[in-house]
C-alpha cells in the first residue's frame, strides 16, 4: 500500500478504502453520455464529517484531486474522477437523521436517495417536493447539481428547498450553514453558494431539506396541439390561471412516440389525433380536497381547448403515473436510441419556440437531429442530440449554447456543467464573471483540489 | 470643489452630486434606532449602471468607502454612511423597465419602491409577493437585506423571488447574473450571493423579480390564546393543514394593545377575552375562488379552536386590512413608545417559546423589557428592546443573540446585520466561517471599499 493510501485508510478504516483493481468500473463514470471513463486512484467511503475532514486534509497536503460521489446518476460527469484522484463516495452516509414535524424539515445525510427520503417523509404526511426524474439520485448529488425536475413549476428547485448544510471545506474545517428556518439575513448565504457548485467548493456532509404537506389528490391532463407555438403560448396562460400546476411539461411528437412504444402507454389519444399532433402538454394538478381537484381539472380542460389544444384527456391514476414515469425515463429512451449527448438548456420560457426551432435547424444541418421534451413552465429544454462526429458535435453544441446565451439563457437548467459542458461555459460566459467566479473558488479551495476541471476549464493541472 | 468631487461630478453630472452642506440629514441615517448619524462626504445620484461603474472606479482608485442607499427604510443601519465616504443613492434609478407577462417577471431599477411595483404589477393581474411592512422600501434595499415580511410563509423571501440581477463590481465591471428563468445550474449563483450582502459585494443596478398570479379573494382570522405555548404548538399544525396561509403572525398582548390604541382597531374581541389573552395568531388565507375561501376560513376557525384558541374572529375586509397595516407599523409604535432597539432574531419555529421566555427574562433582569410580534411560521421574532444604558443593552443583546445561536438560530431573519448587529455577529459566529466569508468578500472587493463595517467588524479603517 502506498504511503498516501495508508494515510487515507487511516482516515476511514482500511475496509473503507479501495485502490487499484479493487475499484469497480462504477466509480469511473456517472450517466453522462459523452465523456470517457476514468478510474480514480482511491475510493474512500467515510461515515462521518470528521472522516471527510481527515480525507480532505490529506488530499490538500498531498495535492490529490477530490471528486464527491453520490449515486452516480448525474448527466454531466461532475462525478467522473480525475486520473490519480480520490473519490469520496457517500454511500455509507445514507441515513435520514430526523424528520422534524414541527419545523417541517428533514435532516439527512448526503447518500440518502430521493426514493428513501420520500418513503420516510410519507410516514409523516409530508413530502420533499424536488422531483428530478431519477429517484435513485442521492440528496447530496441533487445539492451538487441544484437539481430541478418536473415539480419545479410549483415547488421550485433544490436551491429553494434546502435551508441548511453541514459541509467540509477543502482546508478540512467543518462548517454549518443556514438552519431549520427558511429565513435568514445574517451574512452571505453559504448554503446557496454551495448548492449547485458541483463539488468544487466544499463536500456536503448533511442537508436540511424543507418539507411540504403531501396533498392527497392529483390528476394529470394530456393535451395534444397541432402547433408548437400554440403549446408555448399556452404556458404563461396556464401559469397565470391560479390553477397552480404541479407539473407542466411539453413532449414533442417523436419523444411521445418513443415513450408510448417503449413504455406501452395507453393514453387514449386516437390515432388520427396523434398523427396531426406536433407536441403535447402534460399538466398535473393536486389538491387537498377531491372535489376541488375535479373542478380544477374541468377548468384546466376548458382553458387548454380555448388555448388551441386539439382535445384534453384526463388520465386516470394508473395511466397518469405511467406517463410521468415514462417522462422520467426519457433520458434512457434517448440513450437506447443512440443519442450522442443530452443537454438541458434553459431559456426564458417565451423564447422556447425560437430556441427549439434553431436547435433543430442546427442539428439537422450537421446531418443529425435534436428531439426532446422539457419543463415548459421553466424554459428548461431537454434535447437528445444525435451527431456522431465529436468535432462536429462540439461545434453544434457551441452554436446551440451560444444561441441560448443570445436569448438570455444558460447552458444547463438542472444537470450542471460537469466535465461535459464546462468547456462551452469557459468559451461563452462573460470573462469578468468567470474571473470573479474563479476568485470565489480560490477563496474556498486555495489548493484547487476539489473537482478540478468542473466549472473551470483546467489550466495545466 | 475638491479634486475627488470634480471626478465624481464628472461621472454623474454636477447637478447629481452633493457635497458639504448641500447633503441633507436624510442621507446620514436609515431607520435603525441605535446608531449615531453620520453624514457622508459625497452623495452621488447615478442614472445608469455605467455611471455607477464610473463612480466605483473613482472610489476604488481613491480608497473612498461606498454605501448604497435605496429609500433609507432599513432597520440595521446598512445604509448609514462612513465618515468621508460616498453615498450612491438610487433615487433617480426608479423605473419599472418591463412587466414581462410571458415569463412572469418584472425588470426594475433598484430605486423603485415596493408600492410602485405593486401598482404596476396589479395592472397585469400579477403581484410581487415579498411584503415587508414598509412599502416605501426600495427593491434594491430589499435585495440588499434579503427582506422577508409577512407573506414569506407562503411565498418565501426576497432570495426566492429574484431570478436575476445586473450589478456593478467594486472594480467597475458590470455583470449580469441569472435571467428571466427560475432554474439555472451553470456555475455559482451570484444572484444568491449578492442578495442579502448589504452592499458589501456589489452595487445592484437592475433586478429581475418573479411575479405570481394576484389572487382575488382573501380573509383574515384572528385567534386569541390564553397561553403562548399553545400559539406556538398551533403553528406547525396550521402549516401542515394544506390551507397554505398567506400570513401567519403572532402578536403578543402588549403589542396588540398598542396597535389597538394607536391605530383605533375594532377587532370585535370582547374585553373579557382580551384580558385573559396572552397572544394572538393572525392568519390570512387567499384563494382564486370565493366559495373555497369561505370553506377554508371555516375549516381554519375549527382548526384554531381545536388547537386551543379561545375563539376565532373572521375580520371583514376593512378590519383585516387595518390589522395588517397596524402590524406593519409595529416598528413605529415601538419607536414611539421609546424602544432602544428593535431586533428580528430567527430561530427554528419550534424554539420560539423557549427563545421568547429567555429573551424576556434577560431583558427584565436588566430592568428593561422586550415585547413584540413576529412571523410565527418562519420562527422570526420581532422584539422591541427597552434598555436605556448602552453597555447594559450591548450585553443584553449579546446574551439574547447568543441564546438564539444555541437554539440553532441567527441574529437577523430579515433586517440584516448592518452597522448595528455586525459586532455581535463577529463575536458569536464560527471563526472558520467568518474567515471564509471574509475571503469571499475580498474576492469581490479587494480594496474593501464597499460598505466597510457592515457584516465584517472594521479592522483599523
pLDDT digits (tens, 9 = 90+) for B352-399: 999 999 999 999 999 999 998 899 999 999 999 999 999 999 999 999
Interchain contact, A189 vs B415, CB within 8 Å? no
pLDDT given at position B459? 60
Eight-class DSSP state of B316: P
- Rounded alpha-carbon distances, angstroms, from residue B11 to A60, B53, B56: 46, 9, 10
Question: How big is the A-B interface in CB pairs under 8 Å?
Answer: 254
Predicted complex: ipTM over 0.90 = yes
pLDDT given at position A461? 39
Nine-digit cell at B293? 375561501
Interchain contact, A192 vs B192, CB within 8 Å? yes
Interchain contact, B185 vs A379, CB within 8 Å? no
- Positive or negative, the CA dihedral A121, A125, A126, A127 is positive
pLDDT given at position A189? 98
Phi and psi dihedrals of A117, rounded to 5?
Answer: -65, -40
Q: Does A452 touch chain B (CB under 8 A)?
A: no
Interchain contact, B100 vs A350, CB within 8 Å? yes
The CA distance from B336 to the nearest CA of chain A, in Å, is 26
Interatomic CA distance for residues B110 and B113, integer angstroms? 8
Q: Are A185 and B415 in contact (CB under 8 A)?
A: yes
Q: Does B122 touch chain A (CB under 8 A)?
A: no
Please say if the pLDDT value at position B298 is more than 50.
Answer: yes
- Positive or negative, the CA dihedral B173, B177, B180, B184 is positive
In the block, residue with C-alpha cell 411560521? B377
pLDDT given at position A459? 60
Q: Does B379 touch chain A (CB under 8 A)?
A: yes
Nearest CA in chain A to B435: A443
- Rounded alpha-carbon distances, angstroms, from residue B76 to A182, A364, B30, B36, B456: 20, 58, 8, 12, 14
Interchain contact, A183 vs B379, CB within 8 Å? yes
Coil, helix or strand at residue B162: strand
In the block, residue with C-alpha cell 428571466? B180
Q: What is the mean pLDDT of chain B?
A: 95
Stretch 60-89 of chain A: residues touching chain B, C-beta under 8 Å: none
Contact partners, residue B461, CB within 8 Å, separation at least 6? B65, B448, B452, B453
pLDDT digits (tens, 9 = 90+) for A140-151: 999 999 999 999
Q: Determine what percent of chain A falls in helix, strand and coil, rounding each to the nearest 5.
A: 40, 20, 35
Interchain contact, B408 vs A180, CB within 8 Å? yes
Interchain contact, A375 vs B239, CB within 8 Å? no
Compute the average pLDDT of residues B162-189.
97
pLDDT digits (tens, 9 = 90+) for A17-52: 999 999 999 999 999 998 899 999 999 999 999 999
CB atoms within 10 A of CB B122: 11
Interatomic CA distance for residues B410 and A179, integer angstroms? 9
B3-91 placed in CATH 3.40.50.1860:
no
Residues of chain B with C-beta less than 8 angstroms from the C-beta of A299: none
Interchain contact, B189 vs A432, CB within 8 Å? no
Segments in A46-133 forming alpha helices (H): 49-62, 114-122
CATH classification for the domain delimited by B217-328, as one of 3.30.70.2190, 3.40.630.30, 3.40.47.10, 3.60.150.10: 3.30.70.2190
Please say if the pLDDT value at position B419 is more than 50.
Answer: yes
From the list B147, B159, B185, the residue facing A416 with the nearest CB is B185
Instruction: Give, to the nearest 10 degrees, the angle between helix A317-328 and helix A253-263.
Output: 110
Sheet holding B86-89, edge to edge: B17-19, B42-44, B86-89, B66-69
Nearest CA in chain A to B437: A188
List the end-to-end C-alpha distance of chain A, in Å, as a whole number: 25
CA-based nearest residue to B409, from B332, B352, B328, B326:
B352
Interatomic CA distance for residues B443 and B428, integer angstroms? 24
Interchain contact, A175 vs B443, CB within 8 Å? no
The CA distance from B21 to the nearest CA of chain A, in Å, is 34
Give the percent of chain A with pLDDT over 70.
Answer: 99
Interatomic CA distance for residues B81 and B67, integer angstroms? 6
DSSP per-residue codes, A142-197: HHHHT--BTTHHHH--HHHHEEEEEEEETTS-EEEEE-S-S---SS--HHHHHTTS
Q: Does B378 touch chain A (CB under 8 A)?
A: yes
Residues of chain A with C-beta less than 8 angstroms from the C-beta of B189: 146, 159, 192-193, 195-196
Query: Which helix H or strand E contains A396, and what residues bound it?
Result: helix A390-406
CATH classification for the domain delimited by B332-416, as one of 3.30.70.2740, 3.40.50.12780, 3.30.1330.60, 3.30.450.260: 3.30.70.2740
Interchain contact, B213 vs A414, CB within 8 Å? no
Please say if the pLDDT value at position A82 is more than 80.
Answer: yes
- pLDDT band at residue B461 under the 50/70/90 scheme: very low
Interchain contact, B349 vs A103, CB within 8 Å? yes
Q: Name the residue ranges covered by the structural domains of chain A.
A: 3-91, 96-213, 217-328, 332-416
- pLDDT band at residue A266 under the 50/70/90 scheme: confident
DSSP per-residue codes, A324-340: HHHHHTHHHHHHHTT-S
Compute the average pLDDT of residues B24-34.
94
Stretch 197-216 of chain B: residues touching chain A, C-beta under 8 Å: 197, 201, 213, 215
What's domain A96-213's architecture?
2-Layer Sandwich (3.30)
Q: What is the mean pLDDT of chain A?
A: 95
pLDDT digits (tens, 9 = 90+) for A348-391: 999 999 999 999 999 999 999 999 889 999 999 999 999 999 99
The CA distance from A103 to the nearest CA of chain B, in Å, is 6
pLDDT given at position A133? 82
Nearest CA in chain A to B346: A184
Residues of chain B with C-beta less than 8 angstroms from the C-beta of A437: 187-188, 190
From the list B102, B421, B440, the residue facing A188 with the nearest CB is B440
Interchain contact, A183 vs B429, CB within 8 Å? no
pLDDT digits (tens, 9 = 90+) for B54-66: 999 999 999 999 9
Please say if the pLDDT value at position B185 is more than 70.
Answer: yes
CA-based nearest residue to B65, from B46, B87, B43:
B87
B414-451 in b/e burial notation, b at 16+ Cβ within 10 A? Answer: bbbbbbbbbbbbeebbeeebbebbeebbebbbebbbbb
| Domains A3-91 and A96-213 in one fold | no
Interchain contact, B183 vs A415, CB within 8 Å? no
Residues of chain B with C-beta less than 8 angstroms from the C-beta of A422: none
Please say if the pLDDT value at position A167 is more than 50.
Answer: yes
Amino acid at each position: 500500500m502506498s504511503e498516501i493510501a495508508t494515510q487515507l485508510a487511516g482516515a476511514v478504516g482500511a475496509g473503507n478504502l479501495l485502490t487499484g483493481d479493487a475499484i469497480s468500473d462504477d466509480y469511473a463514470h456517472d450517466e453522462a453520455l459523452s465523456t470517457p471513463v476514468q478510474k480514480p486512484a482511491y475510493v474512500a467511503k467515510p461515515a462521518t464529517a470528521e472522516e471527510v475532514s481527515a480525507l480532505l486534509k490529506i488530499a490538500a497536503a498531498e495535492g490529490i484531486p477530490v471528486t464527491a460521489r453520490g449515486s452516480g446518476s448525474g448527466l454531466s460527469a461532475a462525478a467522473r474522477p480525475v486520473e490519480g484522484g480520490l473519490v469520496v463516495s457517500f454511500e455509507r452516509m445514507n441515513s435520514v437523521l430526523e424528520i422534524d414535524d414541527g419545523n417541517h424539515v428533514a435532516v439527512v445525510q448526503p447518500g440518502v436517495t430521493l426514493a428513501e427520503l420520500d418513503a420516510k417523509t410519507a410516514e409523516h404526511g409530508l413530502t420533499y417536493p424536488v422531483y428530478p426524474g431519477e429517484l435513485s439520485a442521492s440528496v447530496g448529488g441533487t445539492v451538487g447539481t441544484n437539481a430541478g425536475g418536473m415539480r419545479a413549476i410549483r415547488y421550485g428547485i433544490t436551491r429553494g428547498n434546502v435551508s441548511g448544510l453541514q459541509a467540509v471545506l477543502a482546508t478540512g474545517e467543518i462548517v454549518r450553514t443556514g438552519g431549520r428556518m427558511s429565513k435568514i439575513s445574517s451574512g452571505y448565504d453559504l448554503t446557496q453558494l454551495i448548492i449547485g457548485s458541483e463539488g468544487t467548493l466544499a463536500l456536503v456532509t448533511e442537508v436540511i431539506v424543507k418539507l411540504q404537506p403531501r396533498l392527497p389528490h392529483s390528476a394529470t391532463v394530456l393535451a395534444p396541439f397541432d402547433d408548437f407555438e400554440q403549446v408555448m403560448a399556452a404556458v404563461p396562460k396556464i401559469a397565470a390561471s391560479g390553477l397552480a400546476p404541479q407539473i407542466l411539461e411539453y413532449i414533442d411528437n417523436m419523444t411521445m412516440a418513443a415513450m408510448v412504444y417503449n413504455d406501452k402507454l395507453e393514453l387514449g389519444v386516437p390515432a388520427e389525433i396523434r398523427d396531426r399532433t406536433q407536441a403535447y402538454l402534460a399538466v398535473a394538478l393536486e389538491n387537498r380536497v377531491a372535489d376541488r381537484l375535479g373542478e380544477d381539472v374541468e377548468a384546466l380542460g376548458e382553458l387548454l381547448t380555448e388555448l388551441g389544444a386539439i382535445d384534453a384527456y384526463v388520465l386516470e391514476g394508473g395511466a397518469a403515473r405511467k406517463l410521468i414515469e415514462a417522462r422520467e425515463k426519457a433520458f434512457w429512451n434517448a440513450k437506447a436510441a443512440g443519442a450522442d449527448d443530452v443537454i438541458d438548456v434553459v431559456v426564458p420560457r417565451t423564447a422556447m419556440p425560437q430556441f427549439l426551432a434553431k436547435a433543430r435547424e442546427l442539428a439537422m444541418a450537421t446531418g443529425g437531429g435534436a428531439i426532446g421534451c422539457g419543463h415548459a413552465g421553466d424554459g428548461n429544454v431537454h434535447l437528445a442530440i444525435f451527431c456522431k462526429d465529436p468535432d462536429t458535435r462540439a461545434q453544434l453544441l457551441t452554436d446551440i449554447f451560444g444561441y441560448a446565451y443570445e436569448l438570455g439563457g444558460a447552458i444547463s437548467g438542472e444537470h450542471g456543467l460537469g466535465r461535459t459542458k464546462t468547456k462551452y461555459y469557459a468559451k461563452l460566459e462573460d470573462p469578468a464573471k468567470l474571473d470573479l467566479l474563479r476568485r470565489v473558488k480560490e477563496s474556498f479551495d486555495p489548493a484547487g483540489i476539489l473537482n478540478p476541471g468542473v466549472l473551470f476549464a483546467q489550466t495545466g493541472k
